[in-house]
Structure 1
Amino acid sequence: MQPTHAHSPSRGRDSFIDIIRALCVLAVISQHWLMPVLAYDNGQLSTGNALASPGWWIVTWLTQVMPMVFFAGGAANFFSFRSVTSVRDWLRSRIARLLVPVVPLAAVWLLLPHVLIAGGVPQQPVLMAGKIAGQLLWFLAVYVLVVAVTPVMYALYRRYGWRVIGVLAVCALVVDVLRFEVSPAIGFLNALFVWLAAHQFGFHYADGSLNMRSRWASSGLAVVGFGLTAAAVFFGPYPSSMIGMPGAPVSNMSPPTALMVSLTIGQLGLWLTLKPVLTRLAARPGVAAVLRWCGARFMTLYLWHMPALVVTAGIFVVGLGLATPTPGSPMWFAVIPVWVSVAGASLVCLTKIFGRFETRRGSGESSDTSLGRVVLAAVLSAGGLLGLAAQGFISPGNSLGPVLSVLLVVAGLLIVRARSTVREAGPVREAAMPKSAGARRSRTVPVQVAVRREGARALAAKTAANGLTP
């Protein structure tokens, strides 16, 4: 299927995808900052979830934006992958850009909890903070694997088109049946089936096949998607909330259920309905500047927004002993602006400190690393990230666990960042060939080396310009 002119690389970045990314990250940050219900007493921090309030589950149908994050990732990966000349170098660049921002996060959080406990801070809230700081790395673990299989999914898309999403949806449903009837652990297979389906929708947006003729068509798509979701909740075994709730026997997100596929359809229809408004908004100079700034720091914003929440909770809840007001009460709405302002200021400071790791570009040099080793790097780093998501950066009784998880991530990063060891051709002795041929050879070798270098730099620049991170 050929790309449409509207999405040709020559037309530059897709502002609709850029603004989806920005708004999705904003939604993730806002939800995580507003959800906690905290109280501190006698060295113990108790937690609750504001979205567990009666009737608030409906909010999660819009604020659970991971389906759109993977959708936007699919579109961005499509834009950049379809014109690459080296699958290996594309994967290296993509995976490295995802993993580099994790290194400073790990360096801080492997040490900080021990420093705080040694300084007299009660252990329980510190352990909770260390777990929260690593919890959201589940997304990065899954996304690294999705990126690793993008070449395969692109080939399947080229051959089978929309049928790929259909097969993935059926697989997700089968996994759900086995999850509810046989073993809950089987449900973790849907971490790939569900998010690959959302990612694949991005391919179809990027090739133009999701262009709706009218707002009525996109609105109809939203009604179908949300309608299927509502029916599955009402008649099936699925909970009404699209995020995990404390004490709930089943979660739609951990692991994801097939319900996330229908939610993807509903949210996609809604976003496509709003597309004309959003693209006009993205065209404003001020908004465009914000999108460019955020676009270069998406991973930093995502990784450090929970530590910013930890700082805020440490000041207000642990330090001052203030408990969260009842969610939805007048006092809660009065406190929220102060809470968000402090968390926002903390995140800005953390982004200024650590954002440089993400905005600094690699050399763009080629590598001797084989494609198989790049895939191995993705698997190793994903395993390390999942370990950190499961146990956090400090684990009582298993102090080596977080360290080993970080080492797996670093090992994966070192593999994909390995530079080429191929030596440039030395000067050609004229005695080895006729003078005229020697002259041609001596001119040709440096030119070929320069072309290879320039091609690698261009590939790295193009990948970064079209890159996507959540």
Structure 2
Amino acid sequence: MSTITSPGAARPTPPPASMPDLSRRDLVVDLARVCCVLLVVVIHVVMVGVGFADDGSLVVTRPAQEQSWFPLVTWAGQVMPLFFVVGGFASATAWASTRRRGGDAGDYIRGRLLRLARPASAVFVVLALALVVARAIGVDPGLLDAVAIGVGSPLWFVAAYGITQVCVPVMARLHATRPLATFAGLAIGAVLVDAVRYATGVTEVGLVNLLFVWLFVQQLGFAYASGWFRRPPRLVLVLVAALAYASLVPLTSIGPWPTDQLAGLNPPTVPLIVLGIAQICVLTLVHPLLSRLMETRGARAFVFVVGSRGMTVYLWHVPLLVALIGVMLLVGAPLPAPASSTWWWTRIPVTVVVLALVGLVSLGAARLERPPRTDAPGRRRPSGGVIAVAAVLVIGPSFAVMQHGLDVVNAIAGAVGMLAAIWLLGRSRPTRSV
């Protein structure tokens, strides 16, 4: 959202130094990002079922995914495409800001990697210590592996988003010079990758779509930032969104893709592109209504508080959910049978408790999400080679977790890799004398 001041009008009073200046932000985008994160929390809460059956045995299931209605619900509940769209918007504006300040691609990538690595490092360190201690005290290896894989599931995002951030300078230039060709190339690439994947049965082929699918969706964010979606009549946006959602029917019934859009997340599949198109059209349609909402103090405060802790909420909510369940088991708290009516009703307080726990963790962890400090006068960023090594250290461990699940080795590698990346990216070197 921007503020326009007529020549003769009084200038708006700047906010106090302690308050964020929101006058030049599209607060609807911030609201969309916050809603995406919170919906992910809710989805994970209803997907983890731990309780006792009638015979007293411990039951661990995924209640939501066992429901007949769940696959169709994911057509609305799979919000990761929208998350990457609004991430693309944020990336476009951040890259433009970097260039206005005289920065280059290395400056941009360095800053974005730091904003990923710093909050992720805390999670990796804590999980590595927890897994080492659990193994040392003799926790059942099978149970430990199952818990670790679930706890580490959100870490895939660090790898996927890190890949898109490294590509932002190149993709932004392509959007400025060959936007339609770029969209077409990415879409064709995604279709070809999925065709080979499903024809051969080799799931790993789909990993190439970490580039094609997520970069296509990120380009939608660039287009949104460029004003593309504000130009067509609203009826056109309605028709495009309706056509995109309708196309999921043949894609998932005649085509090879699963109806459950969560099942098509890792590796990402073509339907996520379709969802991204539909979701950005819907966001554009409701933008005027949400803009009025974001004019209220309460909405702005809510979005600022949650949005400034977005990565903390996302990365910590599953570990804290699992920890909460573990404590309840240890103290003998009554746990209803998963998928029972009582279990479904208890998801409301469980969600509230998890968010409260995340809020407590954020009191210390949220500072890791702050923008990195600028280099001191006479100093400049590390070399491109150092930044490239740091990118591998940030993306590599999370990619390994995405592929093989979290275990002691991957957790330790992640902790060491993230801390090493932060150290490398935090270094500076003397500015060349002219």
Aligned to 1:63: 77
Aligned to 1:115: 133
Could you tell me which amino acid in structure 2 is paired with residue 133 of structure 1?
V
Equivalent residues, number: 408
Aligned to 1:331: 342
TM-score, normalised via structure 2 length = 0.86
Change in Cα spacing, 1:128 to 1:349, as seen in structure 2 (3 Å) is farther
- Please tell me whether the aligned partners of residues 189 and 212 of structure 2 are also in contact (alpha carbons under 8 angstroms): yes
SS, match of residue 238 in structure 1: coil
Aligned to 1:86: 103
Change in Cα spacing, 1:237 to 1:388, as seen in structure 2 (3 Å) is closer
Change in Cα spacing, 1:326 to 1:306, as seen in structure 2 (3 Å) is closer
Work out which of the residue numbers 357, 363, 368 in structure 2 matches 1:346: 357
Aligned to 1:137: 155
What is the distance in 2 between the residues matched to 1:298 and 1:89?
23
TM superposition shift of 1:178: 0.4
Q: Matches of residues 307-386 of structure 1 in structure 2 within 5 Å?
A: 307-317=319-329, 319-320=331-332, 322-327=334-339, 329-359=340-370, 361-365=372-376, 366-386=379-399
What is the distance in 2 between the residues matched to 1:344 and 1:97?
22
TM superposition shift of 1:266: 1.6
Q: Matches of residues 225-264 of structure 1 in structure 2 within 5 Å?
A: 225-244=244-263, 252-264=264-276
Q: Please say if 1:217 is aligned against 2:236.
A: yes
What is the distance in 1 between the residues matched to 2:125 and 2:338?
36
Work out which of the residue numbers 16, 41, 52 in structure 1 matches 2:66: 52
Q: Please say if 1:34 is aligned against 2:46.
A: yes
- Structure 1 residues not aligned, in runs of 5+: 245-251, 426-447, 449-470
TM superposition shift of 1:360: 6.8
Aligned to 1:444: none
What is the distance in 2 between the residues matched to 1:314 and 1:195?
35
TM superposition shift of 1:406: 2.9
Cα RMSD for the two superposed structures: 2.7
What is the distance in 1 between the residues matched to 2:416 and 2:181?
39
SS, match of residue 136 in structure 1: helix
SS, match of residue 138 in structure 1: helix
Work out which of the residue numbers 395, 407, 415 in structure 1 matches 2:424: 415
SS, match of residue 50 in structure 2: strand
What is the distance in 1 between the residues matched to 2:348 and 2:182?
45
TM superposition shift of 1:184: 2.3
What is the distance in 2 between the residues matched to 1:364 and 1:220?
49
- Please tell me whether the aligned partners of residues 43 and 125 of structure 1 are also in contact (alpha carbons under 8 angstroms): no
What is the distance in 2 between the residues matched to 1:401 and 1:292?
33
Could you tell me which amino acid in structure 2 is paired with residue 407 of structure 1?
V
Aligned to 2:14: none
- Please tell me whether the aligned partners of residues 115 and 368 of structure 2 are also in contact (alpha carbons under 8 angstroms): no
TM superposition shift of 1:54: 0.8
What is the distance in 2 between the residues matched to 1:121 and 1:135?
20
Could you tell me which amino acid in structure 1 is paired with residue 400 of structure 2?
G
Q: Matches of residues 390-469 of structure 1 in structure 2 within 5 Å?
A: 390-395=403-408, 400-422=409-431
- Structure 2 residues not aligned, in runs of 5+: 5-20
What is the distance in 2 between the residues matched to 1:393 and 1:55?
30
- Please tell me whether the aligned partners of residues 110 and 403 of structure 1 are also in contact (alpha carbons under 8 angstroms): yes
What is the distance in 2 between the residues matched to 1:390 and 1:34?
23
Deviations 1:60-89 (A, max 9, x none): 111111101110111111112124122221
TM superposition shift of 1:136: 1.3
Change in Cα spacing, 1:279 to 1:325, as seen in structure 2 (3 Å) is farther
SS, match of residue 174 in structure 1: helix
Aligned to 1:265: 277
Work out which of the residue numbers 212, 217, 220 in structure 2 matches 1:193: 212
TM-score, normalised via structure 1 length = 0.80
Deviations 1:162-214 (A, max 9, x none): 22111101100000110011232211111110000000000110011111554
Change in Cα spacing, 1:350 to 1:174, as seen in structure 2 (3 Å) is same
Could you tell me which amino acid in structure 1 is paired with residue 326 of structure 2?
G
Deviations 1:322-357 (A, max 9, x none): 455453x53233322222222222222222232222
SS, match of residue 38 in structure 1: strand
What is the distance in 2 between the residues matched to 1:332 and 1:30?
14
Could you tell me which amino acid in structure 2 is paired with residue 69 of structure 1?
F
TM superposition shift of 1:126: 3.7
SS, match of residue 364 in structure 2: helix
Work out which of the residue numbers 83, 88, 91 in structure 2 matches 1:77: 91
Deviations 1:242-293 (A, max 9, x none): 112xxxxxxx112111111111112222222221221111221011012112
Aligned to 1:176: 194
TM superposition shift of 1:123: 4.7
Change in Cα spacing, 1:123 to 1:40, as seen in structure 2 (3 Å) is farther
